[in-house]
Amino acid sequence: MYKSYFGLRALPFGASPDPRFLFLRPQIREALACLQYGIAARKGFVVMTGEVGTGKTTLLRAVLDTFAKGRISTAYVFNPCMDVLDFFEYVLTDFGVPPKTRTKSGMLMQLNRWLIERYRAHELCAIVIDEAQDLSWELLEEIRLLTNLETASEKLVQIVLSGQPELEEKLHHPRVRQLRQRVSLWCKTQPFTGEETQAYIAERLRIAGASQPVLTADAVEVIYHYSQGIPRLINLMCEHALINAYAEQVKPIPARIVESSAIELGLVQNAFRGSSIAMPGVTEPALQTQTPDIIKPAAVSADVEKEREI
């Protein structure tokens, strides 16, 4: 809708975790290298944690894309809320191996034979579990036991657990201490700084084909203020701002439109007051002083007025 208006070839702030738009700041490079090494070196368990919306899923897909086609087979579990039998059936099916039976022992033997075949063919196999903080205790233990599928020197399957900070807390519980001891590598994702937010927005717009300024500097400041550097919120605010600016036929996008987008998304707690960021000439104390004049009682009775005079 707005692509031609802003001179874009693609949608720069889509909701899908597109590896093309991976922003390789130093911390992301470190996490990317950690995941790549963990899988390629057959380290067994690798764990990645981070706050909601900090780009974990995008990073996972980018890591898998770095391996040559045909060198790695993956089972990507995006919904871990399942029982043990469903989990094994899902993993086998996603690996492209139709389960011959639905007993745990039968599926484990079938998985083990298939992994050995892939190992002899010098291929990597990885089970990637997103939203892993939702795994049940029982399923976590079954996943730990999968690392017993190994040769004398290497693991047959690599397991990547990705989840919110609750996953890290869960893995420090005494109940799963054996699993925690098997985790070879840990990495984290963090929100962007103000400078990184500016660079992130500019990079996504560049990849999408932007050849002229799309947002003003003040607008970017407002985006960082309300998103707190969370990539998912940055994307949401930018997408809404692009749509609203297109509707008003305004470019580059000013801070006031971004502010309106933040209000629409429920990111502004006191929407009626506005923001000192979006209105540079108005300070926060001034807003506080003006507030009583903005909101007045509809009517004041004569008795109340008399009491005030007394």
**Amino acid in the structure at residue 234:** I
Whole-model pTM: value is 0.81
CA distance 257 to 83: 47
Segment 240-249 shows an average pLDDT of 95
**Amino acid in the structure at residue 303:** D
Closest to 286 in 3D by CA, of 294, 245, 12 = 294
Is the Cα dihedral 22, 254, 15, 265 positive or negative?
A: positive
**pLDDT at position 36 over 60:** yes
* Residue 124 contacts residue 39 (beta carbons within 8 Å): yes
Q: Look up residue 180 and give its two tokens.
A: 């925690």
**pLDDT at position 199 over 90:** yes
* Residue 5 contacts residue 251 (beta carbons within 8 Å): yes
Q: Look up residue 281 and give its two tokens.
A: 């000439």
- Pick from 61-65, 209-213, 291-295, 300-304: least confident: 291-295
* Residue 115 contacts residue 156 (beta carbons within 8 Å): yes
Give the tens place of pLDDT for each residue, 129-159. 999 999 999 999 999 999 899 888 889 999 9
Give the CA angle between residues 261, 267, 269 to the nearest 5°: 120
- What pLDDT shows up at residue 273? 44
Residues in a beta bridge with 124: 72
CA distance 89 to 300: 71
Sheet holding 45-50, edge to edge: 72-77, 124-129, 158-163, 45-50, 183-189
Q: Which DSSP state fits 150?
A: B
**pLDDT at position 310 over 50:** no
**pLDDT at position 270 over 70:** no
**pLDDT at position 275 over 60:** no
Q: Look up residue 127 and give its two tokens.
A: 């089970």
- The fold adopted by the segment(s) 26-189 is Rossmann fold (3.40.50)
Residues in a beta bridge with 253: 215
Segment 170-178 shows an average pLDDT of 94
Which of the four pLDDT bands, split at 50, 70 and 90, describes residue 19? Answer: confident
Domain coordinates of the chain in residue numbers?
A: 26-189, 192-294
